[in-house]
């Protein structure tokens, strides 16, 4: 396979995750009673009568009890299910790091990156990197290049305009409905999330701001009780955020502060049921 550009996000290489193995333990059920018609006979003279067979240390419940009398229906204790370790936590960590690298420009538009090269920098196997990259493919952030790796997508101003249009169509009607139906105290519950975006903006941390911004809007839309809407709107917002970073790769802290201030202003307008202001803020918010 042709080795593509191997520059990866500036994340310090971590140790390879310990491989976990889990073996299920099955309790042995007691032996079946003697077949019908067969007798064991009395014990021989001078020898003690045999007692119940000793149970293994891991047997519990009905499996550890003596055999039932003839004709009684018995059940053995079901064995514990085998626990299979999951890779999702590793994949999710890689996915978060890759998204941050896309936002910061460390993964440059148009460049091709191979999963093995990225995995070496992260100190993991290529599998979770490929899985994370496939998530980014579904989000339109990268594209698969056969036998090479993944190419970071380029976004033009038209892409950004279309995403903002879709976002407005999804969010504006929902938020206006919430403004008419939700009590004022409900919006105060979202104020800590809005303040988180402000704190990230003050620090100039674009990656943290993108995450806190999505958390605020996700919690806002969740009040509508439509999980599919929330997932779709979050996907569109993530794509728009990445596309926006391509158009303005050096966004200033003042720009982030202005966007974070919109969150607080939106909560004030929602509390006052100021519908024109609510619509303007939701429609114009980046």
Integer CA distances (angstroms), 256 to 6, 75, 98, 203, 207, in order:
31, 65, 21, 10, 11
Averages of pLDDT over each 10 residues, the chain, 286 residues: 46 41 39 49 51 39 41 43 52 89 84 93 92 90 92 85 91 96 94 95 86 93 95 87 61 83 96 96 84
Task: Look at the chain and report how many structural domains it folds into.
Answer: 2
CATH number for the domain spanning 98: value is 1.10.10.10
Span 207-248, pLDDT tens digits: 788 889 989 999 999 999 999 999 999 888 888 877 666 555
Instruction: State the pTM of this model.
Output: 0.59
CATH number for the domain spanning 162: value is 1.20.120.530
Q: Which of 134, 152, 170 is the last residue of a domain?
A: 152
Counts of helices then strands in the chain (DSSP H, E): 10, 3
What is the DSSP code (8-state) at residue 63?
G
Distance CA 244, CA 163 (A): 10
In this structure, are 172 and 213 located in the same domain?
Answer: yes
In this structure, are 124 and 171 located in the same domain?
Answer: no
Q: Which residue segment(s) compose the domain that 98 sits in? A: 88-152
What pLDDT is stored for residue 54 in this prediction? Answer: 44
Span 44-73, pLDDT tens digits: 555 555 555 444 322 333 343 444 444 444
């Amino acid at each position: 396979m042709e080795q593509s550009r191997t520059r990866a996000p500036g994340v310090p290489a971590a140790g390879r995750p310990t491989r976990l193995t889990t073996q299920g333990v099955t309790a042995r059920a007691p032996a079946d009673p003697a077949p019908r018609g067969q007798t064991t006979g009395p014990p021989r003279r001078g020898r003690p009568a045999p007692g119940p067979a000793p149970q293994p240390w891991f047997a519990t419940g009905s499996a550890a009890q003596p055999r039932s009398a003839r004709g009684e229906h018995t059940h053995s204790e079901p064995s514990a299910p085998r626990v299979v370790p999951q890779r999702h936590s590793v994949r999710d960590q890689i996915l978060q790091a890759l998204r941050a690298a896309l936002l910061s420009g460390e993964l440059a538009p148009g460049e091709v990156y191979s999963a093995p090269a990225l995995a070496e920098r992260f100190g993991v196997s290529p599998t979770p990197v490929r899985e994370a990259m496939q998530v980014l493919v579904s989000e339109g952030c990268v594209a698969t290049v056969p036998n090479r790796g993944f190419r970071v997508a380029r976004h033009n101003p038209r892409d950004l305009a279309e995403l903002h249009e879709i976002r407005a169509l999804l969010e504006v009607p929902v938020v206006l409905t919430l403004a008419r139906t939700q009590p004022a105290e409900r919006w105060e519950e979202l104020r800590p999330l809005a303040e988180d975006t402000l704190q990230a903006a003050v620090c100039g941390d674009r990656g943290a701001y993108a995450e806190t911004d999505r958390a605020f809007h996700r919690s806002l839309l969740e009040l509508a009780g439509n999980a599919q809407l929330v997932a779709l709107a979050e996907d569109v917002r993530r794509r728009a955020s990445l596309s926006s970073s391509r158009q303005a790769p050096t966004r200033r802290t003042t720009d982030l502060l202005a966007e974070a201030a919109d969150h607080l202003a939106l909560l004030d307008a929602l509390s006052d049921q100021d519908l024109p202001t609510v619509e303007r803020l939701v429609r114009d918010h980046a």
